Structure 1
Amino acid sequence: MDHTAPDRHWVRWHRQYDVEGSSLRRRLALVQRRVGQALDAQPAGEIRVLSMCAGQGRDLLGVLPGHPRRGDVRATLVELDADLAAEATHVARAAGLDGVRVVVGDAADAGLYNYVAPVHLALVCGVFGNLSDTDVQRTVEQLPRLCQPGATVIWTRHRRSPDLTPRVRGWFADAGFDEVGFDVEDGYLIGVGTHRLAGPALPYQPDAHLFDFVGDGGDGHR
């Protein structure tokens, strides 16, 4: 998750992943299930993956080591916090995932995905809860520039009132995506969307700025 370098808030915040029953841990399980399904569905050959605001990389790295397509994955994980990025790098190297590249940088900078774009799988998890509505829409509209035809996008957003997720799902439809599923869990405000690009991919624009990260992330994973 992105933050300013002196603030250790994000490192402490990511520890919620290890708390049994936490909303973040439950959201992670939903995301990882969808990641596994997306990898299963890929045809033979290279699988290109990007992860925005990747944190410790758990969305992908929690699935990939035991997945039969692990050797086909070429991924870029972008995370602004150097400590979290170092943890992701350590996990990837320890698992022998040589195709995983962790970049310390601003995930809003489309140029940081030049190693893998256009991708077969894009992870936009823990992002939309920390953007203005306008920037959420703009990011969705820009995703066809990062994706190959038929690519899968997995995203998250809390459903706290006023719930933006119905509008986000509509923006994906407007951008040429078909909805694969929208996962929620009773008693929690988490929402996990999975969409597949049915419309045409757009030209990659490495100079694009996707969004401005706002807030402290407190609502990002409810």
Structure 2
Amino acid sequence: MDWKAWHEKYDDPASPLTRRLRIVQGLVREVLDQSPPGPLRVISLCSGQGQDLLEVLADHSRREDVRARLVELDERNTALAKAAVRASDLSQVEIVTADASRSENYEGMTPADLVLICGLFGNISEADIEQVVATCPQLCGTGGRVIWTRNRRAPDRVGQVCGWFEGRGFEREWLSDDTFEFGVGMHRFAGAPEPLALGRSLFSFVGYDRLPDVVGASGAS
């Protein structure tokens, strides 16, 4: 899969991916608007070109409060994300070209106020989705939010993902309805954060076109 070319679908304002992006950006803006004064930590797993966060921060009043780390393996996508950071003078945003599955890449940024897991769950196994969710108490601070996405193609796992979050001390704050081809959710962590276990692999990235429960390669994550 050419993940830089995949991002070109965002150029179509009517595409489902663009609609999903706007929903995620709206939730990010809501979190920033509602957060109490003071510094905010944000981390993003498999961040791609970072539009979900960077386009919001570019003109948001809380931009100077946000320290963020976006982790993405594709260096072509991180190059574009870094260019966006420079263009908007977002000096507190760190773009890391690295394996987003490795827990050590989030060291120093946890517990976070916002964790973005957008475009990942449709590209990994069901067991790995559950493992990532189980790790979120190590990533997220008390009262912090996780914004996540997962396609609704059969078998639709969106309800199951909600159940996994809610079984780990997260409260559902928002979920897109099932008329939209993507599930977009936001959960708030009501528990106590756990220490980040370093040196762990959180998931194995497979790709939506290679997962056994996906037929064909025309969809998205």
Q: Secondary structure at the match of 1:191?
A: strand
- TM-score between both structures, scaled by the size of structure 2: 0.93
Aligned length: 213
Cα distance in 2 for partners of 1:184, 1:69 equals 29
1:145 CA displacement: 0.4
For the 8 Å contact 2:176–2:185, the answer to whether it is kept is yes
Which residue type is aligned with residue 71 of structure 1?
A: E
* 1:51 maps to which of 44, 55, 78: 44
C-alpha displacement at 1:163, in angstroms?
A: 0.6
In the alignment, residue 135 of structure 1 is paired with which amino acid?
A: D
Summarize the Cα distance change of 1:21–1:185 in structure 2 as closer, same or farther, 3 Å threshold. farther
Distance 2:220 2:131 in 1: 18
Preserved contact between residue 24 and residue 52 of structure 2 (Cα < 8 Å): yes
Q: CA deviation at 1:93?
A: 1.2
Residue 48 of structure 1, CA deviation: 0.2
Give the 5 Å matches for 1:57-96.
Answer: 57-96=50-89
* From 199, 206, 209, the counterpart of 1:207: 199
Provide the secondary structure at the position in 1 that maps to 2:197.
coil
> Counterpart amino acid of 2:181?
L
Matches of residues 57-206 of structure 1 in structure 2 within 5 Å?
Answer: 57-184=50-177, 186=179, 188-206=180-198
1:44 Cα deviation after fit: 1.1
Which amino acid is 1:37 matched to? E
SS at match of 1:154: strand
Deviation at 1:62? Answer: 1.3
Which ranges of structure 2 fall in alignment gaps of 5 or more residues? 210-216
What is the SS of the residue equivalent to 1:11?
helix
Query: Deviation at 1:100?
Result: 0.2
Give the TM-score normalised by the residue count of structure 1.
Answer: 0.92
Q: Once superposed, what is the RMSD of the aligned Cα atoms?
A: 1.3
Shift of residue 215 of structure 1?
Answer: 2.4
Instruction: Compute the displacement of 1:216 (Å).
Output: 4.7
Task: Give the letter for the 1:35 counterpart.
Answer: V
Unmatched 5+ stretches in structure 1: 1-6
1:33 equivalent to 2:53? Answer no
Distance 1:15 1:185 in 2: 25
